[in-house]
Structure 1
Amino acid sequence: MAPESSSRSRHTVPVVTRAADLQPRRPKRPKVRLSTAEIGVLVLVTILVLVTIAVPLRNYFQSRSEIARLNESIAAKEAEKERLLTEIDKYEDEAYVREEARRRLGLIEPGEIAFRVIDPGMETDSTVTTSAEELIEELSWYQILWDSVATPPADDPGGVFMEE
C-alpha cells in the first residue's frame, strides 16, 4: 500500500483559501492602443457631433430670445394703441372739443361776451421794439456779415457793378 500513498502525494488537490480565488475569473482584455490617425478620426467625429448639436441649440435659444423680445414689443404696441384709442374717443366728444376750443383758441359761443383781463401793473412804453444798435450788439459778427451779403443795401438799387 505504500506505492499507492506515494502516488497520491503526487497529485495535489487545489484548495480554495483566498477570497480572490472565489470570484470567477474573467478573461483579461488586451489593452487597445489607438494610432494617431484613429485618434484624429475620433476627434473629428466628436467635433462633428458637437457641431451638429450646438448649431441647432444656438438657433433655438436665439429664436426664443427673439420671440420674447417680439412679445414685449407687441405688448408695448398694444398699450400704445389703447392709449391712442382713448385719446381718439376723447376728441370725438363734442363737449371736450368745445372746451379745448375755448381754452386753446379763445373761441366763444354765440351770444357770450368775451373779456380780456389786462395786468394793471404793466406800463405803456413806447420803446417796445429794439433799436438797430441793440440788435447789432446782440448779433455775432458772422450774422452781421451774412446779413450784409445776403440782402443788398437799400440805397444802391442798381448794384455796385452798374455804371452809367
Structure 2
Amino acid sequence: MAADRDRFSTATRLRAFGEQAAERVYRAQSRRLEPKPRRGRLTGRAAVLALVVCTLIVALAYPLRQYVQQRSDIADQRRLAEEAERRVEELRDEKARWQDDAYVRRQARERLRYLMPGETGYVLPADPDAEAAERSSADAERSRPGGATPAARPWYENLWDGVDRADAAPQAR
C-alpha cells in the first residue's frame, strides 16, 4: 500500500501536474515555432458566394438584354411615328395647295407646258454652247429612224408619235 500512498500523495500529484504542464508548454512553443499552414484564399463561403453571384448574373443577363433591346425598339418606333406625322403634315399641306386653282394652273404651266388661250409659248435654250451640242445630237438622232430621243422631246410629241406608230402598225389577221 505504500505504492498506493505514493500514487495518491500530494507530491506525486504535483509532480504529475508539473510534467503535464511542461508537456503542454513544450507543445505550445513548438506550435508557435512551426509555420502555420496557409489556408487557400477561396474558402467554402467565398465559393458559395461566387457561385450565387455567377448564377444571378447568368439569370439576369438575358432579361436585361431583352429590356435594352425593347427600349431601343420603342425609341425606333417613336422616331418612325414622328417621321410619319411630319410626312402626313407635308401631305396635308400639299393637298391644301392642290385645292387652290392658281397653284394647279401654275403646276400645269410648269410641268405640262400648258398655255392660256391667246398666249404664245417659247422654249429657249439656256446656254448657246449647249444649244449647238443639242443641235448636233438632235441631227444625229433625226438621222436615225424614230427621230429624237423621247427624253429630249416634250411629252405631247411622244404621245402623238406613239399614236402614229400604233396607227401605222400592220394589222395581223
Verify same fold: TM over 0.5. no
Indicate the structure with greater helix content.
Answer: 2
Relative CO higher for 1 or 2, CA cutoff 8 Å, sep ≥ 6?
A: 2
TM range (shorter): 0.3 to 0.5
Q: TM-score, normalised by structure 1?
A: 0.42
Q: TM-score, normalised by structure 2?
A: 0.41
